[in-house]
Structures are given as structure tokens and as C-alpha cells.
Amino acid sequence: MIWGQADLLEKLRELARNFWWTWQPNVVELFRELDPALWRETGHNPVEFLQKLSHDQLSKRASEMALHSRVDYAFRRLNEYLKNEDSWGATYASMFRARPVAYFSAEFGLHESLPIYSGGLGVLAGDHLKSASDLGVPLVGIGLFYAQGYFRQSLDDKGWQIENYLNADPKLLPVDPALGPDGKPVIVRVETQSGVLQARVWRVEVGRTSLLLLDSNVPENSESDRALTARLYGGDARVRIRQELLLGVGGVRALQALNIDPSVLHLNEGHSAFAVLEMIRFMMESEEIPFGEAVRDVAARTVFTTHTPVAAGHDRFGASLIDEHLGKLRESLRLSHEDFMGLGRVFPGDSGEPFCMTVLALKLSRHANGVSALHGQVSRRMWQPLYPQLSEEQVPIGHITNGVHALSWIAPQMLVIYNSYLGGGWERRMRHPEAWTDVHKIEDGELWETHQILKAQMIEFIRRRLVEQYTRRKEPPEILEKVSQALDLEVLTLGFARRFATYKRAGLVLLDAERIARIVNSSNRPIQLVFAGKAHPEDHLGKELIQAIAHMARDDRFSHRLVFIEDYDMNTARQLVQGVDVWLNNPRRPQEASGTSGEKALLNGVLNCSILDGWWAEAYDGSNGFSIGRGRSHSNPATQDERDHRELLETLTNEVVPLYYDRDASNLPRGWIKRQKAALRSLAWRFNADRMVMDYVQNAYLPAAGGLPCEVGK
């Protein structure tokens, strides 16, 4: 190795060990340029990438890329970022410095290279950590280390989803053992009636925020417990309660072992609600106070965010599973079995009612919120029986609408535009409407040209993925040839990518195959459709839906113009939300609590075409995108689907298609561009994660830390 290269590699490795790099386009580009093929091969994981990068390649690229100065610059910026005292949080959240907010979540989506997320809930948690870091809000995340993650998706030659599980090697990930005050790796123990469960703790750096991940794969555990945290949402109810025990009770113990004394507990969804019980037990013991007093203290400091507007979607456990796993804890709390079960029941005396994690979380928190205005309303109605003395409007569940971490989702080319038109430092002001007033000054041609470049990139990405998919399935050369030419830059392109949960209705636009085939193949105003998404391994209907779409993609009526991209993840999401023209969203209202992929699209100047549900119900103003229908629901889902299908095609053919193809003499769709700008101007400042985290700080964390009543906005 030549002199200086060791230092260079050291700095690159340090950059790779903090997820900060993921929202720095310059650093992403730095890694990629070192060896584009290897970068792709290693799944954009810089730790693995740097281990596999040859010295020869490094020295070759070092001279070609002015590598030393670029790495030095990135490294300096990281250190400045980590040290920066001049943040929003330094002014408004400094009280959390000594005692941070503890943010619990069963999944975290930080980047495709750490696959411990399955969908929106995880990506939201990841975006929350990133914005907390940018804003300088002291917060520590707590989750589980799923070595096999969710699963990698592929389709067989019949279009049936196959789940592939790969074992991640911690040595190839930016995770380090969390060390206790004695300098030794922390091991967490949780007692159950059937033995002790143990876990090691990994620490992940996300800018200035740390994330702790509990991992049951330690030799002290039985074989089956070693595999306990291997998969996200992979097991039966027993696996699930043991995972949740580890996350909640183990999570609080991990914090204690690390000398972190949180001022606020934030439960992102009910999975982690056992954390509150463990905190209560700790208070009873350390302060020598009775259960009731400890509950008052801890509940006042607990914030609970619910995400599920459907009753069946909430975790519930039977009495024997609860007794096996929480029996020891219950004894410390000095509660009878029935009193304990009552904490998780809507009707505490109903011995037939199972133990519901959401009920527990609602009872043990004084700050509860849904994730959009409509979802807040739906949650108040759904949980009203828990508060028989209150009317629906009085139910203490407010809302804070989800947002996305802008710099993680905006294409670098769009950042160039924002940097030149919105003024330096716009990204630090993006949560203010004024930061976006100059959007109207963006030159139409420049905006459109940039979008076309991103669309072309996406098409290239899709073709490459299709060729890989079809090659793996050993398809004949003529089919490979065909898919290598799929999609057309000049054709209006709709994207639909998300989990294939039934309520999201991935197949809605395709319901009438003949009709959509005519729209797709219109001679002068055609459209094309891009689909991606995973179905839960147990969700047979979801898999059938994928199969049906995969089948249509092979139908000659749709060839080139309808594609299904396998293995939807954050990378695919980024490509699609940056490259399509329209982001399609047609959930069965009001089941989409918020939805966030449309917000990612919005920030890239992509127009949303959506049912008025979740975030879109409060975002759409008539001129900043497209609405499907007028925000109605129906007690009969079949009727609702039929009506929504009709209204979707109406919006598509009467509004979306004409506006897209209405071009001026220079072939610019002026009306479309106007709408893109209206969307950015009216929505970008609201639906980003900085605004969301600030709302949590001001309306939930600060009141919780000060023991003030709930202020979560209604």
C-alpha cells in the first residue's frame, strides 16, 4: 500500500460506520465511483464494499478521482456535523441532553444495507432518527437485530412469491457491540417462567443519534432462542411475544446497562409496550413507591404512536402466553393475574378478552397520537370503548402526521435545483413555508428536463432488474431482448409500490383488464405502469395478487408497459419515487393510517394521484395533485372497491392523462409543471420528518418530560 492509502482507507471506513453517509449524495457518489459494479454487488453496503475493494482498485481510483481531497472533505463535514452545537434542538430540546428520549420500534428502515424493516413503519422510524439527528434532538432508538431481516423476494416462473432468507454477518455491517461503563459488551437478561432469555446489544450510529439493537443470537440461549430475533414478523404468537418482551423489557434494561436514563419513552406502535411495565417496576423498586404512583409517573412520561386503523391489526396474546412471559414481572408489580390481564383489556373484567398491546400502551401513556388527522379521528372512534366516560371527540388520542426525511429521498439532481432556486441552507429551513416560496421561479424547462433525466435513470434501473429477474428464470432470449427494452421515456408512467396488504388494493387499477389495456395502448396518449411490493409470507391473498400482476406483465396486451420489479426495498423505493410521473395510491379508506411513499414522491416533483386517505386527505387542495373520488367510504368493501375503481379510471382518463400530454410548442406540459410546483410549494414544508419531529418535541416530548398534560394536536 502506498503512503497515505492507509489513512484514506481509515477515513472511508469511518464514514461507512455512520449512516450519515446515506443522506449525503457526495459521499454516496464517492463510494459508488470507487467501483460501481462492486458497489451494486455488495448491496450499497460500504462496510462490506470496503472489505472487498482491492488495493489495486483503490490506488487506481485514488489518482483518477481526486479521492484524497474528496474523502478529507467528507470526513471533515461528518465531524463538523457531529460537533455542531448550533441546532434547533440546542435551543428547543436541550433538556433532553442529560436524559434523552428513548424511541422504541420493532423495525427501523435506515438504508437497504441494514434490512431490519418490512415497510412504512420501519422507514418512518428510520426517518425519525435521521431528522432527530439533523435537528439536534437527543434521542436514542431501541430495536431488534434481525440477522435474516424480513425476506428477499423473488418470483418463480409461475409468478409465485418465493421468500429467501440470508444471514447477515455483523462483521459486514456498521454495528458495534454496545459497551457498558466497565468497557465490556452489554448482555441483557429477561426472566420468564420458562427460563432466562438473553441478548447482546449492537450500537448503530445514525448521525448524532444512536440506535441500540438487541440480538438473541448468543451462546447462553437455547438453540430456538438464539433464532428468536432472526426474522422480522416471522414467527407464531409465542415467537412474537418473546420478541416483544426482549424489545420492551430488554430494551429498558439495555438502556440501564448503558447508563442511559431516558426522560421520555416513545413507543412507535404497540409492539414495545412492555417497556412501560419494566419502567414501572424499576420505579417501584428504586423509589420504593406503590404501583399506582409509579404508573402515574411513568405514564406521564410515555408517548404512544398508534399506526393501525383496523382492529384485527393489533397484537393480542392469550392468558397463558402472558403468564409464561410476564409472570415474573407481574409478581414484582404485585398484581394478580386478572389485574394484570386487565391492563391489556378494553373490558378488564372480561376474562375471555385477550391481552392487547395497543390497549396496554393506551392505558400506560398520557400522550397518544395517530399519524394523520383522519387516522386520529378513526383511532378515537375505534378506542372510545376504552374511555366510557368520554365522548368520541374527547378520547385522548391526537395526531401528528407522518413526514419523510427529505435528504434521504430527494434525488441529487433535484437538490441541485433546490440549492440554486431556494437559496443556501434551504434544507435547514425546509419545515417553513417561506423556504419554498421561490419554487415558482424554477424554470419550467429545467424542472422538466431534470425530471426526464431521473425518469430515464429509473427506466435503466428497471430494465436491468428485469433482465436479472428473467435471466434467473432462464427465459428465452427473445423475452430477455423484449424486457431489456421495457418502458418508454415519453409515456406517462404510474408507479405503485408498497407492501401487498389487502387494504392497499394493488390490483385496483387493473380490475378491468380490457379497459386498462385500451388506456395503456392508446395510440396518442398511452400510459405505463410500474409495480413492486412484497406480500407477508403468510398472506396467500397478497401473493395471489402479485401473481396476477406478474401474469398481466407477461400478457402481450401489456408487454413493455406493465412491469413488476421484484424485492421492493428502500433502494427500489428511491428509484421509483424519483423517476415516475405519477405516484398511485388507492387504499380502502380509511385504512391507510398515513402512507409515506407519496410524500417521498412529492419531494421529487412527482404528482400524487390518490384516494383521500391518510396524509393525502389533508394534503390535497384541488391543484397540487389528483384525487380519486371525494373521500367516501362504504360499509361494503366490494361496493367501495367497485366505486373506487370507476373513480380511479375517471381521474386517470379525464385529468391525469390529458394534463400530461397537453404540450406547448416546445413540448413542455405547462399545466403539469404548474401542478408540480403547486405541490412543492404547498406540501413540501409540511410532509417532511423535520416538521414531524419538531411536532413530537413540542407537543409530546416536552410536555411529557415536564409532566404536563397531553398537547398532541387534535
| Binding-site ranges for ligand PLP (CB under 6 A) | 119-120, 123, 498, 568-570, 573, 595-598, 600
Instruction: Tell me the CA distances in angstroms from 510 to 159, 585, 590, one per residue in order.
Output: 17, 13, 21
Smallest gap from Cβ 498 to ligand PLP, in A, equals 3
Provide the grid cell at 75. Answer: 470526513
When the beta carbons of 570 and 700 are compared against ligand PLP, the nearer one is: 570
When the beta carbons of 566 and 569 are compared against ligand PLP, the nearer one is: 569
- Asked whether the beta carbons of 60 and 26 are under 8 A apart, the reply is no
Smallest gap from Cβ 70 to ligand PLP, in A, equals 28
Smallest gap from Cβ 166 to ligand PLP, in A, equals 17
When the beta carbons of 234 and 262 are compared against ligand PLP, the nearer one is: 234
CA separation for the pair 104, 214 (Å, rounded): 12
Provide the grid cell at 47. Answer: 462496510
Find, among 622, 566, 598, the residue nearest to 684 by Cα.
598
When the beta carbons of 46 and 598 are compared against ligand PLP, the nearer one is: 598
Smallest gap from Cβ 120 to ligand PLP, in A, equals 3
CA separation for the pair 494, 583 (Å, rounded): 6
Element counts in the chain: helices (H) and strands (E):
32, 20
Smallest gap from Cβ 596 to ligand PLP, in A, equals 4
When the beta carbons of 127 and 475 are compared against ligand PLP, the nearer one is: 127
Place of cell 401473481: 547
Q: Beta strand pairing status for 176-177 and 195-206?
A: antiparallel
Smallest gap from Cβ 145 to ligand PLP, in A, equals 19
When the beta carbons of 284 and 593 are compared against ligand PLP, the nearer one is: 593
Q: Tell the burial category of 434 from Cβ atoms under 10 Å away from its Cβ (0-12, 13-18, 19+).
A: exposed
CA separation for the pair 482, 468 (Å, rounded): 13
Smallest gap from Cβ 615 to ligand PLP, in A, equals 9
Instruction: Tell me the CA distances in angstroms from 496 to 170, 444, 450, 686, one per residue in order.
Output: 33, 26, 22, 23
- Asked whether the beta carbons of 109 and 122 are under 8 A apart, the reply is yes
When the beta carbons of 30 and 123 are compared against ligand PLP, the nearer one is: 123
Smallest gap from Cβ 168 to ligand PLP, in A, equals 17
CA separation for the pair 66, 671 (Å, rounded): 43
Strand partners, 675: none
- Asked whether the beta carbons of 233 and 73 are under 8 A apart, the reply is no
When the beta carbons of 244 and 569 are compared against ligand PLP, the nearer one is: 569
Q: Which residues contact 10 (CB under 8 A, 6 or more apart)?
A: none
Smallest gap from Cβ 501 to ligand PLP, in A, equals 8
Alpha carbon 213 to chain centroid, angstroms: 17
Smallest gap from Cβ 569 to ligand PLP, in A, equals 5
Smallest gap from Cβ 499 to ligand PLP, in A, equals 6
CA separation for the pair 702, 711 (Å, rounded): 10
SS3 206: strand
When the beta carbons of 46 and 533 are compared against ligand PLP, the nearer one is: 533
When the beta carbons of 188 and 573 are compared against ligand PLP, the nearer one is: 573
Task: Give yes or no for a cis peptide into 348 (omega within 30° of 0).
Answer: no
When the beta carbons of 550 and 570 are compared against ligand PLP, the nearer one is: 570
When the beta carbons of 106 and 573 are compared against ligand PLP, the nearer one is: 573
Instruction: Tell me the CA distances in angstroms from 247 to 218, 241, 276, one per residue in order.
Output: 16, 10, 11
Alpha helices in 86-165 (DSSP H): 88-92, 120-135
Q: What is the dihedral of CA 613, 618, 624, 630, to 10 degrees?
A: 50
The length of the chain is 714
Smallest gap from Cβ 616 to ligand PLP, in A, equals 10
